[in-house]
Structures are given as structure tokens and as C-alpha cells.
A and B are shown apart, each in its own frame.
Chain A
Amino acid sequence: MSRKPRLKRDLPDPLPVDKDPNEPTCGCCGESLEILSRRTFLRRALRSAAAATLIGLFPGATLARRDALAAGNAGKTLVVIFQRGGNDGINTIVPYTDPQYYVMRPRATAGGIGILPPGSGNGAGLDLPGTGFAMHPSIQPFLNLYTNGTLAVLTRAGYLGSTQSHFTDQDTIERGVFSMQDGWLNRYLRAVPAAGSSNLRAAGIGSDLAPSLRGQVLVPAVSNFGAFNFSRLRGARASLESNLRAMDAQDPDLTTTNPFRSLVHQLGPDMLNRVAAIEAIGPATPQNGAVYPNTGFGTQMRDLAHVIRSGLGLEVATVDIGGWDTHEDQGGGGTFAQNQGARLDDLSRSVRAFNDDLGPLMSNIVVLICTEFSRTVRQNASNGTDHAKGGVWFLLGGGVKGGLYHGTAGWVPSLLPANLDQGRYIAPTVEFRDIFADVLTKHFGATTSQLASVLPGHVYQPVGLFG
């Protein structure tokens, strides 16, 4: 066993923060030219026809607009958070009443990574009464949501053909069907029309676009809302933007033979439109006393809440949180927490702040937290766990019926190797496409034929996640 210093592994990279340029100031009054130019822009925006929707800054007004619309997806938002790397399920929702759990995962107090039973002090799990399960203490912010019935916890979500490859399993989940090259959310955007005009119907939060959002419908990726503007161009801005639009407005087929020309020509004006829309809503101001962790993920969730509240018509968004591939030093709870505990803490505090920030607006929002697979039941010799199959997914928000969902097969009687898939894994029992279909039909009101377009070939068996 290695005795090298323990390092935090696979910690997510810090959110890229665009450096703040030295802000030039106006020579006469010292006021920031940056602000002046934004105001100038806003004045101009107010005069424009599009401004009516851009400046829908007031939640009340937004709700009123939404109420007036009839379609099933009117005013609804879905946020999909992907825990990339494979979050360990049985240390997230812990079967502490199964003695075999502590065989596979010796207690943290005994040098293993087992989460201690509720009530045993430091590192103890948080009991989910009457279930035999406990939450990892690092997701304490989720406990209230579970108790008040707005958080659904699926303990065996996944699919039978799971390969234990991060990349194949992520792609399968995000595409819905591996052989399809576009993402299930992109197909949704195509199959179900927007309920009203929208300046930002979908967005990928991050520096690249999640595969679930890729496809025919152009969806923007934005990594840092605060720096997403061209205000520093000042006097040159108008002419450069109009030049960019003019170049992109050419028929792509008459400019080049590059196979990506059509997409490239759409991206330019699309980017300028998104920049204008996001510039217009200004910086995020969390409400209801919500406090986000000062992390990359926390900041992205904060900005996302702001965008939703600002009434840009955001219907689908994805956010990534990495660092779950805990092959080593996964850690337990409390002061035994290491890699997984730190990630769970960031995840749960950020999502809880998002929930609190949006307050009553959450009735129109669903947050789906997924991961590509769980991890081997038996811990490995480096106090970590390896790739496995189906794991814990969460669903939170409007209309969600809270509670634990093990699927029709129920939970594994005991974590004996004989009860496990290949002696190593907890077999998935809740097909992820059924979870998607529950969301599509119950939250967005998708019809049967729309559902078939999003998840072709899938035979839908409702999970019953919505009340």
C-alpha cells in the first residue's frame, strides 16, 4: 500500500474566470466607461422591439407571461446536472442496515470508506427514517428537500447494457440511444416547439456543449456569464458586429466547401444575439438569502438561476460537475471525507442554494442530477472504488413526488456477492430512458408521438416520479 501523501484527485478544475481588464474610466467624472457603455447599450436595447422580452427582469411579470401560455412546456425549465466520472451510489444513499455493506466497505473508523450508521457521531450518515438508508453527511443540504417531499432519489438508475466505460455510458445516456449522434435534449427542442418567443431556449453551462444538447438545433454554451460580452469593443463594436453578421449572412455554400460551413455561419449571429441577451440581464443577484458555494459549479448554478428568473425563456439547461471518479481515497463522512465528500458538499450546497434562490419559481423547474454509473460494491485496496453499473440519480422540483425509488425489483436483499451482478455491481433496475420520459411527459407535457421522436424505439414504462 502506498504511503505517499494523499492528494485530492480529480478535483474539478476551477471555473475559468475571465480576467477583469483594467477598466478604463471616463476622464471627466471617473465613472467606469464599462458601465457607461452598458447603459448606453441598455438604452439602445430599450428602444428596440426585442427589448420587451429582454427586459423581462421581474419574476412576477415573467410568471404572468407564462400563465398566459397554454402549451405543456410553457414557463417550464429543466436543468440537467451531470456528475461526470461515476458517483458512488452506496456511499451517497447508504444501506447502513445491511451488515454486508460494512464487509464490503469497512467503517471509516476502521480505515475503510464505510459511512457510519446514523447517530454514531463524526462521519455518521443522516437517517432516512423507515427506509434502512442514510444520506452521506456531506449532502446534508438535501435532507430537508427529501423530508419536505420535493426530492426524489433513484437508487438503481442506469441501463442493462452498461459498459463501465465513462465515455460510452455517458454518451449512451446523453444521446438516449448510443447509435444516435445527437443528444436527447436537442431532439426534445426539435420535437416540441417552444411555447412562446424565447431569447435563450436552451443553454449548456460550461466551456463545451454537453452531448445531450448537441444536434440540429443550435444551442449555445456559455462558461462565464459575467464575462460574456463585447462591451470593451466600444466604438468599434457596431461596425465589427455588423461585419460579422454580413460575413455570416452569405450563403455558406458560396463561400467554402468546408463540411461544417452551415453550422459555422449560424454560430456567429447566434453568438451575438446571446451576448446581447445575457448582457441585458446584468449580474446575478441571489434572492431569499441563498448562499452559493464559491466554486465553479456554485457560480454556474447561481448564474443559471439568474438567467431563469430573468425571463429569457430558458427551457433546457445542462451543467457539469466533475471529480467523481474516485478510484483512490474516496473517503467516508465527517472528518473522514475526502474526494467524494468534497464533491457531494459542493453539489448539494449549490443545488440547495439554487432551490432557495428561485423559491416559488421552483414549481416550474425540475432539476435532474445524473451520473454515468455507480462504483464497485467492494472497495479496492487504495480506499477507492472502480467502475460499475447503475447508480443514484436525483430529481428535484415542481411536481416531483419525493422519496426513495428502488424500481420494481426493490433493493438488493443484502450486498453479498451472490446478489450482485457479476459479484461486483448493483444491477440497474430503473431504466434511465423511463426517467427521461417521465420528465418529458409530466413536466413538459410531451405527447406520445413527441416522446417517440425524442427516444425512438424506447418502450416507455412510467417510473411515477411525478405526483
Chain B
Amino acid sequence: MLRATEAQNAPLACRLPTAAANGICRRTIYMLVSCVALFAGFGPAATFAHDNGGRHDVVKSVNNQAPSASKDKRTDPIKPGKKPRRLIKKSEPGPSAPSPAPIQHLSMPQSETQPLAATGELKDTPNKSGTVTTTPSFAGGGIVPTAGAASIAPSALGSSAIGTGVSSAASSMAGVSSGTSQSPQLTGRSLHMLLQQAPGISTLITGIPLSPVIPADPIAPLPPPLAAPQAGLPPPPPNWFAYHVLNRLTYGGTPNQLNMVASLKTGPEAMTWATVFMKEQLELDPTKPWPTNLHDTSPLPPPLPTQDIAADMLLAQDKADWQADASDAGVLSPTLAQLQDHDLIRKMYSRRQLKEKMTYFWDNHFNTNYRSHGKGQYELQENEAFRSKAFGTFLDLLMTSGKSAAMMIYLNTDVNVKENPNENYAREVLELHTLGTTDQGTPNGYMQADIVEAAKAFTGWDNTPDVRGGFRFVSSRHSAGSKLVLGQNIGFDGAGPSEGEQVLTLAARHPSTARHLAKQLCEYFVSDTPSAALVSEVASVFSDSNGDIKKVLIAIFTSADFMNVANYRGQIKTPLEYVVGIYRNLGVWSSREPFRARLVNVGQSLYEFAPPTGFKEQAIEWLNTNVLFHEASMAYETTISGFASTVQYGSSTSGGSLRLWMTELSLATEAEILGFLTNLTVDRVATATEYQLYLGTLRAGLIGGSFDLKNTSSEDALDRTMATILTNPRYLYQ
């Protein structure tokens, strides 16, 4: 896929056809179409850009034949001459056919500028490492490549902010700026044409049929100025549903996504955009109606993947620092901090935001603790499996968890032997992973006897004695005799793991499990107190579809409850959602480390939560002084330079200065600036009191009490205004 990027000074980077250029909005928006240099020997340039809320900086344009152009060793993704390392041998057979060479969007935060290695290297290394599974492999590569990109109606395109990542292709779409105007200007329509053309071109070049690919976000205009609100309870904005979908399906909108949403003026427009967005996030064709076969086991259409090259590159680069396991040079073993950072890259940068939210859901539902085994690769292996199966079937997810080394060690399956079985896993799999408990806290459909018998069925399960996290069955440890679990007789099978598998299958199909999972997913996406009707309907889809998670999610997102304005901003962000949200909402481009450290301090440290419950999702778990203290601290750390802050956001050309960023965007008046900043954070909702408070903060300390962007003293005033908006209780609402 091509990508358009702002072209302040950049020449046309490769020989792609350009489209007619027309103005796209009131502000000058212009784009340079630049080919991502992933086609060997073809285009010379890769241009990195970052979503800066309208102004997308060109970071660097480098010739892909000169990888040494990198000035910063840190940013070199693949060290020359370095052999790709295999992380973990996959136990499953490889895909039957190689993934078609994806057409790739490419963009990077400018701070992470890096030259592109030669095409093959860039594409191959992650594959050879055996760990990068994010390049979607599309079964049946011959499918018409334009299904996603080409068939979007022009009217929808303007409102279909498709990418979601801060550094996604969306962000690489040219930005807004005043001053330079060398590049062709694109309308939504001409952009659309480009997107249509690119796949064909790349197919010509590579000869490989392309997957249908969800194209990049178009660049959005800046939001209008914010007028002083009326007194009283502010009404939800007319386009609330589009904000709502970003709030719930992602870890926070990026500046460009939020600008896009702000440009939707009416409810129907917002609904159209949001529906496209939801379908894309679910890997469904946005031009087709919602599937209606939710209550049966017939298949959904094959997934239509979203390219995520920027995140993939960051991930590959991130792994360069990982050490091999001490006892097996063929296995990379990340430390806890490296694991956490790796996960944060995905949450912060991935365009597949819903997939990331679901990956977290599963990894948390089947919680394991790094500290119980100390092997980074075990946690990584689980996490990657949950990601690849995030929209799969529940039984598959449950089996993956039950047989993972991390889980088997964490809940003692590995030492559960026939002489006197260890009940730990058997109990938690029934109580937490599947059937669950009633509102009275009593077992919902199982008894202590089921736990004892299930524990016997799992005897003999173990991880392989190496450090690669494989599964094995040790028949000499397996408990003889048949077992009675959940009312079913499970015949003795001393030769294989099938008894335990039967237990998991029985549990996965149990009606209590459908209700338990339906309730948890509704709490995650809809409300802390989902209606009984919603839970029942979702549970019945879960049961009827045999635990098809994508169908379950469709049922949730198309429910009347999810679309009910009463649920808009009706949840409370978890610290994870708050901290990652700041990173995304503001377009942070400096180090992720302050954000990772803050999650540790606030008590939502990834991969090391000891209780098998995983982190709770409900507001009441997180509304406390400690959490608020750390969230406010994160807001201050991001915005106030005196707060020992290293966090920088906005555009890189403004060096992290909010004042220069506003200058670049030609936002000058108080109302324009507030319109932009509140759109990044609180959906442009403010009470009259809040509006006056923001105004007062903008004007404080300035000569004559009037705001003037040109005055350098306005820097502090802007920082304090941003900090005030972020610490508004409103920003906690999700």
C-alpha cells in the first residue's frame, strides 16, 4: 500500500502515479504521496511521519539503498550482518502457504527514525524470527485485493478513519500545515483513487497477489473553535457515537482519528463512520452489512486484515535488545520490563486496536504471573497466541491457555501428579476461566467433587523440560480410572492428554460459561452493570455459535445497549487505559518508559499480577486515591516541564513545545486552541465553569491578561491548560 505523507520538502519518493490535487478542507491540507520503500530496488524513500493531530511531520526521507543513513544506532532496526534469531520454535506446522507480500504502510514516530533495510530484510527478519505474527496471512491469497480499499464508497471514505495507530498509516497521511505547499493536494476522492491503485501497482511489481487490506486513514481537518458552553449539564455531542466507539474499542483515539470524528457533524454521519470503523476493527468488510448468522455455527466471512507495518517495525526493533535464554541460545528471553514495553508498543501503536483490547482481555482472563516462572518467552508465547486467536473460538483460547507453559507452572498443572493431585488449576479453571460463580459467590454449576475429579483428569500434563514452552503428556503421572466431571463420565486414557481436553471442552460448552464470559465482555465494552437482557442475548450468541468470539463481539457492538447514549462516557478508565490513552490522545513521541513505570507504580503492572483473577475491570476497583494520584502525576509528567518530565508530544518539529505545535497548526485564538485540545481529550465537552477555567488558565500571567500565542510566556499557560484538561474528572470517563 502506498502511503501519503506530508511533503514539506520531500520530493515524490517513488514512481507512483499521483492523483489530482484539490483542497480537502478549510485549512491547508496537503499530502505527498510517497511510496513506502518495501519493494526491492524500487522506490528510494521511506518517509516516516507521525500523527500529530493534523500536522504530520515528515520525519525523514531516506533512500532504502543506503541503510547507513541512520544517525542513531538505537533506531537501526536490523543490524547489518546480524542473523535473525529464532525466538521460539512454533509447535504448530507453519502456514500452508507463505503470506502474500503485504502492501505496507510505513510510518514511524519521528523520534524512532530509522532507515529501511532492503526490502527482503525488512520483510523477512520478522518472519525468520518466528515471532512476528502480525503480518496477516490471508488464506487464499488470490482474493481480489481491492475488497477493502477499493470498494469503500467515496462518501464513506472521508469519514472512515481506518487506521488507528499513532504511527499508523493514518498518521503518515499528510498533515496540516501552513506555509509549504509544494505537494499535490488530495481530496478524499483523489486519495481514494490512489488507494485503489496502489495494490495493483505493487502486485505488478512483486508478482504476488495481495491480501485485501484496510487502507490508511485519510487526513482529517482540524476541529472548529470551541464556543463557550451554555450553563448546566452539557448535552452529549451530536457525533457522540463516533467518540464512543473510539473510547471503547481502542486505547484512545489518536489526534488524527479524533480530528476525523470532530469533522462529523451529525448523528447519522457519526454512525456511518463508527460502523465502518467497528467493522474494520473486527476485520469485516466495511462495505457489507453486519453478518446476521450470529446464532449458529456457520462461518463468518474470512478476515480482512489491517496492515500494521509501523507497529511491526517497532516490535522487531524492540527485540534487538533481547538476550538469548541462558540455556538455549535459540530462544530469546525478554526481561519483565522488556515484555511490558513490547506489549505497550502494541497498545500504543497498533492500528488493530480492538485486537489489542481483546488480547489484553484474554491475557488477563487467563492471568499468569511472570514471577512464577521467570521466563519471558512463556508470557510472550501466550500473549502472541491470544492475539492470533483474539477473535477465535473460546475453546481454542481455553486450550491454548491450559496447555501454555506459563499457565501450567503458574497454577501447578506441571506438578499435578496421580499420587495426590494438585487442585489449583482445576479449581481456577472452573471458578475463573469458565463456569464462574453466582452473584452469591457460590460455584455456578460445579462442586468440590468436580474440582477433585478434574484435577485427576489433568494429571500428567506438563511443559516440556526445555525452555521453549512446549506441551507434553507424561503418562506415568496420570491418574488411573474414569473421572466424573460436570456430570459426564470421562473414560481413563493413560496414553494422552485427552481427559483434560474433555474437561476443558465440557467447561467451555457449559451454559454457565456462556453467561460468565458474556457478562465479562459486556462489562468490558458496555457498562459496569450491563442489563440482564444484553447479557442473556450475548450469552445465547456465545452458546449458539459454539463460543465464536467475533460473533459475540458483533452482538455486543450492534446491541441497543452499546448504542445507548446513556452508556456514552459511562465507564471509568482503568489505569492502563488512562496511561496508554494519554500516549495516544496527545500523540506522545518520546520514550514509553515513563508510561511503563507509571503502570508499575499505580498497580496495574502487566504480566506480574499475582492473583489468578487478573485485573478487575469495574470502576470501583480503581476509583481510589492512589490511582488518582498516579493518574494526575502522569498528566503532569506529560505536560509540566518542571515535573521531571521527559515526555514530549505533538509534533517533533515543535520539539515537544505545545506553543510551537499550536503555531504550526495555525491555531491562534483561545477558542481554536481549546477546540483542538478538548477534542483530543474530552470529546469537546465542557461545562461553562470548565470553559472559563481553561480560559483563565490560558490567560494567567500574560500581559494584560490576554492570550497571545506569540508571547513565549504563553508556553507555561498552555502547559497548565493541557494539564488542567487532563486532570478534569471528565478525562477519567470512558
Chain A interface (Cβ < 8 Å from any Cβ of B): 1-2, 4, 7, 9-13, 16-19, 21-22, 24, 84, 163-168, 171-172, 178-179, 204, 206-209, 214, 219-224, 227-228, 230, 232-236, 239-240, 243-244, 246-248, 250, 252-261, 263-265, 267-268, 270-271, 274-275, 322-323, 325, 327-328, 378-382, 384, 386-387, 422
B443 and A247 contacting across the interface, CB-CB below 8 Å: no
0/1 string, B690-703, CB within 8 A of A gives 1:
10010001001000
Say yes or no: is B517 at the interface (Cβ < 8 Å to chain A).
no
B632 and A271 contacting across the interface, CB-CB below 8 Å: yes
B727 and A16 contacting across the interface, CB-CB below 8 Å: no
B621 and A208 contacting across the interface, CB-CB below 8 Å: yes
Cβ of B388 to closest chain A Cβ, rounded Å? 28
Closest to B529 in A: A259
B412 and A382 contacting across the interface, CB-CB below 8 Å: yes
A178 and B441 contacting across the interface, CB-CB below 8 Å: yes
B620 and A214 contacting across the interface, CB-CB below 8 Å: yes
- Please, which residues of chain B bring their CB within 8 A of the CB of A270? 625
Beyond known contacts A208-B621, A230-B636, A258-B733: 5 more, CB 8 A cutoff: A239-B720, A240-B640, A253-B233, A378-B420, A386-B424
Ordered by A's residue number, 24 sampled pairs between the chains whose C-beta atoms are within 8 Å are: A2-B414, A2-B462, A9-B372, A11-B371, A18-B601, A163-B443, A207-B601, A219-B624, A220-B624, A222-B625, A236-B643, A239-B697, A243-B727, A247-B690, A247-B693, A254-B233, A254-B687, A255-B234, A259-B529, A260-B620, A325-B424, A327-B422, A386-B423, A386-B427
Measured CA separation A235–B701 after assembly (Å): 12
Chain B interface (Cβ < 8 Å from any Cβ of A): 232-234, 369, 371-374, 409, 411-412, 414-424, 427, 431, 437, 440-443, 448, 462, 465, 477, 528-529, 566, 569-572, 597, 600-603, 605, 608, 610-611, 613, 619-629, 632-633, 636, 640, 642-644, 687, 689-690, 693, 697, 700, 716, 719-720, 723-724, 727-730, 732-733
Closest to B626 in A: A221
Measured CA separation A209–B636 after assembly (Å): 24
- Please, which residues of chain B bring their CB within 8 A of the CB of A325? 424
Measured CA separation A360–B461 after assembly (Å): 55
Measured CA separation A255–B691 after assembly (Å): 12
A207 and B626 contacting across the interface, CB-CB below 8 Å: yes
Measured CA separation A209–B620 after assembly (Å): 9
- Please, which residues of chain B bring their CB within 8 A of the CB of A227? 601
- Please, which residues of chain B bring their CB within 8 A of the CB of A220? 624-626
Measured CA separation A232–B635 after assembly (Å): 13
Checking A233, A252, A274, A384 against B625 with a beta-carbon cut-off of 8 angstroms, the contacting residue is A274
Cβ of B71 to closest chain A Cβ, rounded Å? 26
- Please, which residues of chain A bring their CB within 8 A of the CB of B719? 236
- Please, which residues of chain A bring their CB within 8 A of the CB of B733? 256, 258, 264
A168 and B441 contacting across the interface, CB-CB below 8 Å: yes
- Please, which residues of chain B bring their CB within 8 A of the CB of A235? 642, 716
- Please, which residues of chain B bring their CB within 8 A of the CB of A223? 601, 603, 626
- Please, which residues of chain A bring their CB within 8 A of the CB of B431? 165, 167
- Please, which residues of chain A bring their CB within 8 A of the CB of B605? 13, 16
Cβ of B373 to closest chain A Cβ, rounded Å? 6
- Please, which residues of chain A bring their CB within 8 A of the CB of B411? 327
Cβ of A27 to closest chain B Cβ, rounded Å? 14
Measured CA separation A270–B627 after assembly (Å): 12
Cβ of B278 to closest chain A Cβ, rounded Å? 22
Checking A171, A208, A247 against B624 with a beta-carbon cut-off of 8 angstroms, the contacting residue is A208
- Please, which residues of chain A bring their CB within 8 A of the CB of B644? 21-22, 24, 232
Measured CA separation A279–B185 after assembly (Å): 56
B730 and A163 contacting across the interface, CB-CB below 8 Å: no
Measured CA separation A257–B600 after assembly (Å): 31
Beyond A13-B605, A230-B633, A254-B687, whether A327 also contacts B624 by CB under 8 A is no
Measured CA separation A384–B732 after assembly (Å): 43
B373 and A7 contacting across the interface, CB-CB below 8 Å: yes
Cβ of B529 to closest chain A Cβ, rounded Å? 8
- Please, which residues of chain A bring their CB within 8 A of the CB of B601? 16-18, 207, 223-224, 227
B477 and A13 contacting across the interface, CB-CB below 8 Å: no
A381 and B422 contacting across the interface, CB-CB below 8 Å: yes
B441 and A271 contacting across the interface, CB-CB below 8 Å: no
B732 and A264 contacting across the interface, CB-CB below 8 Å: yes
B424 and A247 contacting across the interface, CB-CB below 8 Å: no
Closest to A222 in B: B626
Closest to A18 in B: B601
A221 and B625 contacting across the interface, CB-CB below 8 Å: yes
Q: Which of B232, B625, B693, B724 has the most CB of A within 10 A?
A: B625
Cβ of A19 to closest chain B Cβ, rounded Å? 6
- Please, which residues of chain B bring their CB within 8 A of the CB of A21? 644
Checking B619, B623, B624, B727 against A244 with a beta-carbon cut-off of 8 angstroms, the contacting residue is B727
Measured CA separation A216–B570 after assembly (Å): 20
Cβ of A444 to closest chain B Cβ, rounded Å? 23
Checking A10, A22, A250, A328 against B369 with a beta-carbon cut-off of 8 angstroms, the contacting residue is A10
Cβ of B651 to closest chain A Cβ, rounded Å? 23
Measured CA separation A208–B598 after assembly (Å): 15
Checking B420, B640, B728 against A380 with a beta-carbon cut-off of 8 angstroms, the contacting residue is B420
Cβ of B685 to closest chain A Cβ, rounded Å? 8
Cβ of A455 to closest chain B Cβ, rounded Å? 18
Measured CA separation A325–B428 after assembly (Å): 12
Measured CA separation A1–B420 after assembly (Å): 11
Cβ of B345 to closest chain A Cβ, rounded Å? 21
Beyond A10-B369, A179-B440, A236-B640, whether A256 also contacts B727 by CB under 8 A is no
A246 and B689 contacting across the interface, CB-CB below 8 Å: yes
B412 and A328 contacting across the interface, CB-CB below 8 Å: yes
Beyond A84-B611, A164-B427, whether A233 also contacts B462 by CB under 8 A is no
B415 and A381 contacting across the interface, CB-CB below 8 Å: yes
A257 and B570 contacting across the interface, CB-CB below 8 Å: yes
A244 and B632 contacting across the interface, CB-CB below 8 Å: yes
Closest to B571 in A: A258
B724 and A240 contacting across the interface, CB-CB below 8 Å: yes
Checking B421, B427, B477, B636 against A240 with a beta-carbon cut-off of 8 angstroms, the contacting residue is B636
B419 and A13 contacting across the interface, CB-CB below 8 Å: no
Measured CA separation A394–B417 after assembly (Å): 34
Closest to A22 in B: B644
Measured CA separation A248–B232 after assembly (Å): 15
B626 and A233 contacting across the interface, CB-CB below 8 Å: no
